Structure formats: structure tokens, C-alpha cells
Amino acid sequence: LRSCNMPPPKDSELIPDILEQEPQMPNLTANTIIIDGCPVVGPAKTKLLKNVLMKKFSAMGEIIYEHLPIDAKEQTEGYMFIAYDTPEMAAKAVKEMNNLALDKTHTLVVSSLSDYKKSISVSKEWVAPEKKAYHDVGNL
């Protein structure tokens, strides 16, 4: 019998061979793009919109995951996530598909998920830049 003061054993101590077989979720941050500016459509046009976007973006490389968010009213939310097989394919999609005119009223803004994560992790405290001395260069 164990004393009540001892902590229970860890899973890694009890079943290390099973934990080694546990699937690991790959980090797809560099492979994922965000497509903003998608049309907001209802359920009748959602499938068509998804097919159009997938056709355009599959030309950039093999897509392994896609998600077109739907709100409580069953309308698209105006953006889409796509994960490519490699980070290079995602970078190509950002470079070539950013500012793509989908139609007369919708221009797609494409950015990488890693850039988005950088932009939201900026420090909330502003630090003033160091003031530099003025150097007069004379007349040009």
C-alpha cells in the first residue's frame, strides 16, 4: 500500500510504450493561409463559393485542409482557412493570390497564419524610439 502523501504515478511511467504510439498533431502554422474578403453567402450558395475558392487556390499546390466558417445564421463569415502540404506552397499562394479580384465587389486578401500570429503577439506597451541628434547636411 502506498502512503497517502505520495503522488500518483505519471502516465509516462505506467504506459510508455503506448504513449510512444500516440499520434502527434503536426504544426501547420507555416502551411496555413487566411483568405479574407470572401463573400458572405447563405446556405444556398455556400457550396458554390467553397468550390470556386478551392479551384482557384488548389492551383497553388496540394491542399490538405480547408475550412470556411459558418455563423449561427448559417452564413459564411467572410474568410477561409487553407492548409497546404508544404510551407512553400502557402508562401506561393500568399504571393500570387493576395489582392485577387474574385468579382466586381470582392477582393481577396491572403496572408499567412504565421504572419497573423506575429501581428497579434505584439507587446501592448509602447516604447518610444531613441531620439537621434540632428545632423545638418547642408544644401543639396
- The predicted-structure confidence for 25-83, as pLDDT tens digits, reads as follows 678 889 999 999 999 999 999 999 999 999 999 999 999 999 999 999 999 999 999 99
Q: What CA–CA distance (Å, rounded) separates 60 from 93?
A: 6
Please give the grid coordinates belonging to residue 54: 478551392
pLDDT at 3: 55
C-alpha separations of 83 from 46, 80, 94 in Å:
19, 10, 12
Q: Residues 79, 38: contact at Cβ < 8 Å?
A: yes
Find the mean pLDDT for residues 105-120: 86
* Beta pairing class for 32-36 and 63-67: unpaired
8 Å CB contact between 46 and 130: no
In this predicted structure, the answer to whether residue 1 has a pLDDT above a threshold of 90 is no
Say which amino acid occupies 29: T
pLDDT at 4: 64
